[in-house]
Structure 1
């Protein structure tokens, strides 16, 4: 169905190809996962299937790409639209209408399908993706994850023979991601749809794939094989594979179930007097998320919150209404210096609204918000940036200049900081990025790092991040974790809204669970995520009832 024959792509002005010697075949009715570190050209390969590369992006494509027998060099994207459906990393760039139902119907209208066919397919897709309650909602009022599901639904309704998906679960909560992936698997198995997907959160998708294609680097040819074969050599891999490598299991398990069946010996190694003390009731107060196992105490001591009693932010009985919808109800939250809090919950639970209230973008309908002694929505931006900074879901929203140097100079001026302050932060977070680089030429992870540097220029005591790991591979996520741990050690309070349970396990002292705008749980990370089937990380599920959160903890305990 999809065939790449010795394909190389070189963008205008680039000295070397973005991808080189790509040669593989995707048979009809298979779900194939494209994996590799950030910057190796996964999005370029996906764009070549839909014809966006090179017809929209420019550059030179050598070799040959065919989809259902059509050569993408001679067929523009509109001439492939009846065969290929594409969802990119940014759902907002995908939408052309204002409401959910209209967006689901638009692709079919463009293909001239009969009204009765369109109506039936819209209803089917609303049910498949859990969107029925949102059918009349304006897209602008949806959460990031809800928009992601609408974007996926809009390419499903025309029933394309090929689906090309770039980070399809990046903005989805764990339950919604499972639902979407189950739908995709049903399309493959029941309808023979061919799916080529790139996804950094491999823990969610690797066990759904029929085959995997690894792009090791722009200069190396792809490695094609079964998911287990590719994971054995891949530089990026999910926690279940990392635990399997640590334990020496062969073949490597790809699912929690397979790993649990083989983990008895590992659990035995990790058991003992120290491990038995894990069962003690968790402590309370700042830093309560530190585990009681001796090896785990060593691990977490470095990341414990600063022992300060001051309050960075305080929310009391906060309610917020947005477009006739009560987004938050009677929320109470206190944030202390050096504390890292993960806001978690399903899409639309109110996480982004809570961050928006802390940074003054939204005024309370009832209750109060205080950050560093000021009321955010009544404080002028030049003053507010010294108290709180937000890195939004789309970091590019903060970037408007033509070069990195201009972004840094503007950040210094806005924060009243010494010239060069922001550029020093960029050098720390993005080594090797030159002053004349255009922000649009940066990868998702690099944009996040630049936006983070811009926000940190004012050294706000409270740092807010909304879905900070979207578009990040495991290596980039590890760098982000290192930066955030350093900030927490310096006394910055960090509140991040995330669906990434592995990130929360790595750095959060507390987890606050939201549902329908209400706080339903607030406590130490270990006590919250271990008891949650949806939000428990893979290592926790594999080694239960022992309370381990990450592969790093297990590695240190074994050593």
Structure 2
């Protein structure tokens, strides 16, 4: 169905191809997962199938890509629209109508389908993706995850033969991700739809793939094989595979079910270790603990972290009392009481539309409370001038380009230094730490989604705010980039910075957060230590917890430390 024949793509202004020697085939009715580190060209490979590369992006495509027999060099995206449906990393850039129902119908209208067919398919898709309650909602009022589901639905209604999906579950909560992946599996198995999908959260999708195409490094030829064979050599692997490698299991497990069947001996080893630990349950002692004062910490070696944030006037970095917010006649938050202490890392979790991004917006002053109060560093955010507020709280939004406006990385860093009144070079040092290998003259729009997020984080950190807010910070990040982010955030917490992150990434919360708040319908339904909250939740428990239950292990790193 999809055939790459010795394909290479070189963008204008670049001396080396972004991808080259791409030569493989995606058979009809299979789901092929495209994996690899950030920046290796996965989005470029996907764009070559839909015709966006090079017709929309520019550059030079050598070789040949055919879809259902059509050559993408001679067929523009609109001439492939009846065959190929595409959902990119940024769903907002694809929407052309105002409401959910209209967006689901638009693609079919463009193809001239009969009204009764359109009505039936819209209803089916609303039910498939759990969008029935949102059918009349303006798209602009939806959460990022809800928008992602609408974007997926808009390409399902025309019933394309081929689906191209770039990070389709990155903004979805665990339950919604499972629902979407179940729908995709039904399309493959029951309707013979061909799917080529790139996804960094392999723990969610690897078990659904028929084949995996690995792009190991920029410019390297892809490796195609079964999921088990490719995961054995891949530089990016989900926790279940990492645990299998640690335990020496062969073949490597790809699902929690497979791993649990082999984990009896490992659980016994860990149980013996636990019973020999005099201070109690070692796995809970290994959880990170918030730092209450600078005297309790050892200063990190990074020179950009040496200066501690100013001490807040109150014992809390932020304090929220009886907060309620109404947006577009929707009660987004209800009676939220929350205190955040210096050095504490808090994960906000919950289904899409639960109010996580709204709470972050209130903390950074983008939304005014309908009722209640918000205090950050002794100031009221929505009443504080930006030059003052930027030194108290910083937000890395779900869409990093909302913060990035300059033409080059160097210009972004220069502007960030000036806005924060920081020493010249402060932001660039952060970029080097978070984003190694990116040159000063790179345009932010030429970066991958994960690279743009790292640049936005560096811009926000330049002002060294005592409170750092991140909205879906691992969206678009591979495991190596996520590990670098975790290292930086742990160092900031050790310095006394408070961190609040809204995330659907249960593995990130398990590794980084001291505390988890579960939101539902705008209310806090659980608030406690990470180990207690996520272990008791089937939806939000990380893979290691599910595999080794009833023991309360959260990460592969904890298990490795125990076995050592």
* TM-score normalised by structure 2 residue count: 0.94
Q: Is the 8 A contact 1:306 1:489 kept in 2?
A: no
Which residues in structure 2 correspond to 1:154-233 (within 5 Å)? 154-233=154-233
Distance 1:53 1:449 in 2: 25
Which one of the candidate residues 349, 355, 373 is aligned to 2:378?
A: 373
Aligned to 1:284: none
Q: Unpaired segments of 5 or more residues in structure 1?
A: 279-290
- Could you give the per-residue CA deviations for residues 74-121 of structure 1, whole angstroms, max 9, x where no partner exists? 111111100000000000011000100000000000000011110100
Distance 2:172 2:479 in 1: 18
Which residues in structure 2 correspond to 1:194-273 (within 5 Å)? 194-272=194-272
Inter-CA distance 390–275: structure 2 relative to 1 (3 Å threshold): farther
Aligned to 2:353: 348
- Could you give the per-residue CA deviations for residues 247-274 of structure 1, whole angstroms, max 9, x where no partner exists? 1111111110110000000001111262
Tell me, yes or no, if structure 1 residue 462 matches structure 2 residue 467. yes
Q: Is the 8 A contact 2:84 2:163 kept in 1?
A: yes
Which residues in structure 2 correspond to 1:138-157 (within 5 Å)? 138-157=138-157
Which residues in structure 2 correspond to 1:428-439 (within 5 Å)? 428-439=433-444
Which residues in structure 2 correspond to 1:58-207 (within 5 Å)? 58-207=58-207
Deviation of the 1:221 alpha carbon: 1.7
Distance 2:551 2:214 in 1: 34
Larger mean Cα displacement after TM superposition, 381-390 or 144-153: 381-390
Aligned to 2:403: 398
Deviation of the 1:405 alpha carbon: 2.1
Distance 2:164 2:470 in 1: 29
Q: Is the 8 A contact 1:343 1:512 kept in 2?
A: yes
Aligned to 2:551: 546
Root-mean-square deviation (Å):
1.5
Aligned to 1:293: 281
Tell me, yes or no, if structure 1 residue 314 matches structure 2 residue 319. yes
Distance 1:273 1:394 in 2: 44
Larger mean Cα displacement after TM superposition, 434-443 or 515-524: 434-443
How many residues are aligned here?
A: 545
Tell me, yes or no, if structure 1 residue 521 matches structure 2 residue 526. yes
Aligned to 1:49: 49
Deviation of the 1:401 alpha carbon: 1.0
- Could you give the per-residue CA deviations for residues 101-146 of structure 1, whole angstroms, max 9, x where no partner exists? 0000000000000111101000000000000000000000000000
Displacement over 4 Å in runs of 4+: 275-278
Deviation of the 1:300 alpha carbon: 4.2
Give the secondary-structure state (helix, strand or coil) at the position aligned to 2:516. Answer: strand
Q: Is the 8 A contact 1:84 1:161 kept in 2?
A: yes
Q: Is the 8 A contact 2:259 2:547 kept in 1?
A: yes
Tell me, yes or no, if structure 1 residue 508 matches structure 2 residue 513. yes
Deviation of the 1:409 alpha carbon: 2.0
- Could you give the per-residue CA deviations for residues 35-66 of structure 1, whole angstroms, max 9, x where no partner exists? 11111111111111111111111111111111
Q: Is the 8 A contact 1:295 1:556 kept in 2?
A: no
Deviation of the 1:292 alpha carbon: 5.2
Distance 1:372 1:534 in 2: 34
Q: Is the 8 A contact 1:510 1:523 kept in 2?
A: yes
